[in-house]
Structure 1
Amino acid sequence: MTDESALAPRTRALQLFDGLVTDTSLRRFLEGIPGVDAVGLEQRAAALGTRSIKTTSKAAAIDTIISMIDLTTLEGADTPGKVRSLVAKALVPDAGDAACPQPAAVCVYGDMVATAVDALGAAHGQISVAAVATAFPSGRASLRVKLADTADAVAAGADEIDMVIDRGAFLSGQYAQVFDEIVAVKRACRREDGTSAHLKVILETGELNTYDNVRRASWLAILAGADFIKTSTGKVSPAATLPVTLLMLEVVRDWFRLTGERIGVKPAGGIRTSKDAIKFLVTVAETCGEDWLTPELFRFGASSLLNDVLLQRQKLATGHYSGPDYVTID
């Protein structure tokens, strides 16, 4: 990604707001977006959650889910050994089946990026390294610190940056501050060779309080240059609910219809079973279309989901459930 294209979202927003991005212009736009019909949203999410898929399609769905997982460890007690163990699992999810797909990425704190890159070796690129940044999970730091956090992770080899927005600023109506921070972080994602790490913008929907705020924050993040919009840090409850993910998918669908640009969505936190993950896949297909059923446009942020999906995959292959000791303990 070149410097010019990295700034394209800001140029796009400037055109939308007649050349001036301010709290007033952003408020006029964001608060002019029609309100969310909460009852209708939740009913549609519930209906999509009851859809079943044929047994012949389930194997493909399970492999798709595995390919979309950002295998994650984000604990204060993380060690290089734990990160290497996580990478080993990403490289070989099922030691008994060489045909098992690999996850899309491993997601770690910025100071663990170099360890993850080293552990991946030649597979780095085939499996991405995602790093949380900008004072994750609270986002409570100066912009200078947030940008340094991002730049350090990119310099260490991160392919993707998962940033958090300043929820306090957003809820206070300081939309321009949130917009400018996303633009600045996107700029900090650039590498010396002119390419750029992909930027996922975490909304922390559990702290935004209303569906209207989730819709506005989604539009704001996309206007500022997000490659993905992500529900949660996984540290706040509720995290990735189906109604919230549906709402965010509707925003990226509407953005695509408006601009022709595809933006990704990443639900994170609380998705632990293949049954739940399949509900999200159905919601993606029904809302944005099957073009979004790819790791380039949809991810699951998860640590324990992979184990359940692997057990379900083994069940389809053998006809019986394996015990939990047939998968590694994270």
Structure 2
Amino acid sequence: MPAVTAFLPDFRNTPQIDHVGVEERAARFTKRSIKTESKVEGLKLALNMIDLTTLEGKDTDGKVKQLCYKAMHLHDAYPGLPTVAAICVYPSMVAVAKKALQGSNVKVAAVATAFPSGQASRDVKLRDTKFAIDQGADEIDMVISRGKFLQGEYNFVFDEIAAIKEACGNARLKVILETGELVTYDNVRRASEIAMYAGADFIKTSTGKIQPAATMPVTLVMLEAIRDFYYRTGKKIAMKPAGGISKAKAALHYLVMVQETLGTDWLSNEWFRFGASSLANDVLMQLEKERTGVYQAANYFSID
């Protein structure tokens, strides 16, 4: 999606967030009762929304291939289970993942733009992005320049996102706000709007390297920004909370929040993702518990 310049607002005057109100609303989603049949369908949906991720300096070809194998074979013991949405790796590992996933519908996402700090020149960030695209990445996860944002240089952040989006070509762009460094809900709302107007296909909470990472109140602020953007422009933007979501129960709470804030149209991996590799094992554990009445150990399913 190109930058939405025809509707460009003054980013200094984005909506202010009621801190207490957003936290109370987010807490209410955790109290919804989910019946067994709906729970099973929700768990399968959550599994299909996961981006399995490995983003360590010690990543090897073998580790990436193992993660890809897991992505493609989760359903071997449980026929009817969906695959995960994507594998997320560094640009240097895109070609390895692309080859390992050949023949599947699992996408390859690459972090870029000097992930996780974003402390590099625009030229370096563009070359990082183009390299990942040339290697076969289907999606790019970029980080915004938080220092520039916190200095109030909103046009710089906007222009950088727009330039990276152009470099992505047909690949979808996830814009990581790193909400743990933005400090306030007002800043999260402002950064969300900048990213969406600049051309983001997804807005994403976190790199997973900073705490706090994804939280329900922060995600709610971003979902409401997506809703308002859709009402204003008619363009749908996807959402990805990342980091810290490791339990199936929490994933179900997030899905309830998505449905009640954006509606069922957003309940697919085209429009919502979880960035949480350890979540997959817990979802599988809960599905097996629903099927047999017995919990299995996490390592029964595989090591992340």
Q: Indicate which of 41, 52, 56 corresponds to 1:75.
A: 56
Question: SS at 2:51's partner residue?
Answer: strand
Higher deviation after alignment, 107-116 or 50-59 = 50-59
- Is 1:244 matched with 2:218? yes
Identity, in percent, stands at: 57
- Is 1:112 matched with 2:112? no
Partner of 1:318: 292
* AA matched with 1:324: A
Q: Indicate which of 130, 151, 157 corresponds to 1:178.
A: 157
Q: Indicate which of 191, 198, 202 corresponds to 2:176.
A: 202
* AA matched with 2:28: A
Partner of 1:56: 37
Displacement of 1:98 after TM fit? 2.7
Partner of 2:46: 65
Partner of 1:35: 16
Partner of 2:138: 159
Displacement of 1:326 after TM fit? 1.8
- Is 1:91 matched with 2:72? yes
Residues of 2 paired with 1:302 and 1:93: CA distance? 15
Residues of 2 paired with 1:310 and 1:236: CA distance? 27
* AA matched with 1:16: F
Displacement of 1:52 after TM fit? 2.0
For these two proteins, the number of residue pairs brought into alignment is 304
Structure 2 length normalisation: TM-score? 0.98
**Residue 94 of structure 1 contacts residue 327 of structure 1 at CA under 8 Å; is this kept in 2?**
no
Question: SS at 2:275's partner residue?
Answer: strand
Question: SS at 2:142's partner residue?
Answer: strand
Question: SS at 1:275's partner residue?
Answer: helix
Question: SS at 1:31's partner residue?
Answer: helix
Residues of 1 paired with 2:7 and 2:196: CA distance? 13
> Structure 2: 5+ residue runs without aligned partners?
none
Partner of 1:302: 276
Residues of 2 paired with 1:140 and 1:310: CA distance? 38
**Residue 94 of structure 1 contacts residue 310 of structure 1 at CA under 8 Å; is this kept in 2?**
no
**Residue 174 of structure 2 contacts residue 201 of structure 2 at CA under 8 Å; is this kept in 1?**
yes
Residues of 1 paired with 2:297 and 2:146: CA distance? 42
Displacement of 1:300 after TM fit? 0.1
Q: Indicate which of 273, 296, 306 corresponds to 2:247.
A: 273
1:150-204 Cα offsets, whole Å, 9 max, x none, are 00000100000000000000000111111111011011111xxxxx100000000
1:14-55 Cα offsets, whole Å, 9 max, x none, are x335xxxxxxxx6xx122223100000000001112212111
Residues of 2 paired with 1:116 and 1:287: CA distance? 34
RMSD: 1.0
Partner of 1:23: none
**Residue 7 of structure 2 contacts residue 233 of structure 2 at CA under 8 Å; is this kept in 1?**
no
Displacement of 1:321 after TM fit? 1.1
Residues of 1 paired with 2:236 and 2:25: CA distance? 23
* AA matched with 2:257: T
Question: SS at 2:103's partner residue?
Answer: helix
- Is 1:285 matched with 2:259? yes
Displacement of 1:95 after TM fit? 3.1
**Residue 15 of structure 2 contacts residue 189 of structure 2 at CA under 8 Å; is this kept in 1?**
no
1:204-245 Cα offsets, whole Å, 9 max, x none, are 000001000000000000000000000000000000000000
Displacement of 1:312 after TM fit? 0.5
Residues of 2 paired with 1:158 and 1:151: CA distance? 10
* AA matched with 1:236: I
Partner of 1:46: 27
Partner of 1:213: 187
Displacement of 1:94 after TM fit? 4.0
Moved over 2 A (4+): none
* AA matched with 1:76: G
Partner of 1:22: none
Residues of 2 paired with 1:328 and 1:69: CA distance? 16
* AA matched with 1:325: N
**Residue 48 of structure 1 contacts residue 283 of structure 1 at CA under 8 Å; is this kept in 2?**
yes
Partner of 2:7: 16
